[in-house]
Amino acid sequence: MDYLEIKGGDKLSGEIRVSGAKNAALPILAATILAKNPARITNLPNVADIKTFLKLLNLLGGESQFDAENHTAIVDTRDLKFTTATYEIVKTMRASILALGPLLARFGECRVSLPGGCAIGQRPVDLHLKALEKMGAEIVISEGYIYAKAPTGGLKGATIVFDKITVTGSENIIMAAALARGETRIINAAKEPEVEQICEILKAAGVKIKGAGESEIVVQGTAGELVDFAAIDVISDRIETGTYLCAAAIANSPLTLTCAAPRHLTAVTDKLAEMGFGFDFTRDSISIKPAAEIRAANVVTSEYPGFPTDMQAQLMALATQANGASVIEERLFENRFMHVSELTRMGAKIALRGNTATVTGGGLIGADVMATDLRASSALVLAALAARGTSRVHRIYHLDRGYENLETKLRSIGAKIERKKEK
């Protein structure tokens, strides 16, 4: 197992190129199940979760070539013949649930291992299942698997009102609806840019969709006919961008992020501006400038376009460097504060009460800390950049799931960070 060793306290400067968004690429890979032609995907991030999804497609009988260096893949699902996403795959990546909608829509039945809870909460998939039932599917849960069967003639369009906004739930139903019979109306859909992109891709493939990026989406299904994918370019990773903005901010240093999508990050850049940082934007770059004083700020996570839960841990790391107390409220997941105890080991002053953390700024001291989930891991790396002395962040396989070359990118802007092997 690898760990990261980080010597903190240095100023950073330079430029980082942002990778493609993992959370956009995963539903895109799932959507290739609906394709009648091999799909060409560019700007695919070279991270573990993407390789896991490609492996899943291969296990289902697909073929893919991933030129990781050039971030390009050709995914051919024409000969797909198996319809089971096994426990072995799903346990390593919850997002495998994204195969459920497309497999069911194409084959009329499938079996997907039920994802368990995870480090950040229970994370049920009941809303995905209820929506598919509304489209006529019969769902049985047995021996840890979801067995789904479409009615004769395939899934049928329906009006679906999500009780809660769900990102992968919306994506699953959009993909299922693309091949269903008739019209599906999704109300209270997620508005995340990743959901919008899956709509745009299906539109370009010939599916009639209204409301991409809005809370009400209407999909006219093709009644089982597979779709013809145009070339796909994955959008820029807004969470990776936000993480590096926080890296610059925690070191109170300037940094430019290229291949970014500033319009997807308004909630984050506004919050950093409130804390005292300056910004220059172009259409596809963001430059952050140091603050005269890092001010405390309060944050409440919410669905897009609100402040992303996937940036909560990184913002908390930054709040340890602010003057005064910041109140951070997590509204999406019930247990997304696993990083608090690790940050506390580095000397952070954090009082936790239910889903609210109050962070009082002060110095951090290097320590051995343990990564618990993907975004919590990056927060520990950020904290280590600001800490006095050396930190070691263990269990970084969480980081490798979603950050491409994190240590190389940070080293290129002056951070002292090295990947080492546990003895």
- Name the residues annotated as catalytic: 118
Task: Answer yes or no whether residue 376 interacts with ligand UD1 by CB under 6 A.
Answer: no
Minimum Å gap between C-beta 382 and ligand UD1 is: 18
Question: CA triplet 316, 304, 294: central angle to 5 degrees?
Answer: 30
Site stretch for ligand UD1 (CB under 6 A), options 61-69, 160-168, 288-296, 317-325: 160-168
CA-wise closest residue to 336 among 321, 357, 307? 357
Minimum Å gap between C-beta 362 and ligand UD1 is: 28
Task: Answer yes or no whether residue 337 interacts with ligand UD1 by CB under 6 A.
Answer: no
State how far the Cα of 129 lies from the Cα of 124, in Å rounded to an integer.
10
The interface with ligand UD1 within residues 77-106 (CB under 6 A) comprises 95
- On whether the CB atoms of residues 106 and 33 are closer than 8 A, the answer is yes
Backbone region of residue 26 per phi and psi (left: phi > 0; alpha: psi in -120 to 50; beta: other values): alpha
Site stretch for ligand UD1 (CB under 6 A), options 124-132, 246-254, 386-394, 409-417: 124-132
Bridge-based pairing of strands 299-300 and 325-329 is parallel
- On whether the CB atoms of residues 22 and 44 are closer than 8 A, the answer is no
The interface with ligand UD1 within residues 5-34 (CB under 6 A) comprises 23, 26
Tokens of 346: 């580095």
Length of the chain: 423
Total residues at interface with ligand UD1 (CB under 6 A)? 20
Query: 358 in helix, strand or coil?
Result: strand
Task: Answer yes or no whether residue 116 interacts with ligand UD1 by CB under 6 A.
Answer: no
Task: Answer yes or no whether residue 168 interacts with ligand UD1 by CB under 6 A.
Answer: yes
The interface with ligand UD1 within residues 234-293 (CB under 6 A) comprises none
Minimum Å gap between C-beta 91 and ligand UD1 is: 15
State how far the Cα of 128 lies from the Cα of 255, in Å rounded to an integer.
40
Q: Which of 166, 197, 256, 312 binds ligand UD1 (CB under 6 A)?
A: 166
Q: Which of 71, 128, 156, 392 binds ligand UD1 (CB under 6 A)?
A: 128
State how far the Cα of 186 lies from the Cα of 178, in Å rounded to an integer.
12
Q: Which of 18, 54, 99, 125 binds ligand UD1 (CB under 6 A)?
A: 125
Q: Which of 310, 342, 373, 400 binds ligand UD1 (CB under 6 A)?
A: 310
Buried b (16+ CB within 10 A) or exposed e, 7-20: bbeeebeeebebbb
Task: Answer yes or no whether residue 378 interacts with ligand UD1 by CB under 6 A.
Answer: no
Residues in the site for ligand UD1, rule: CB under 6 A? 23, 26, 95, 121, 123-128, 164, 166-169, 194, 309-310, 332-333
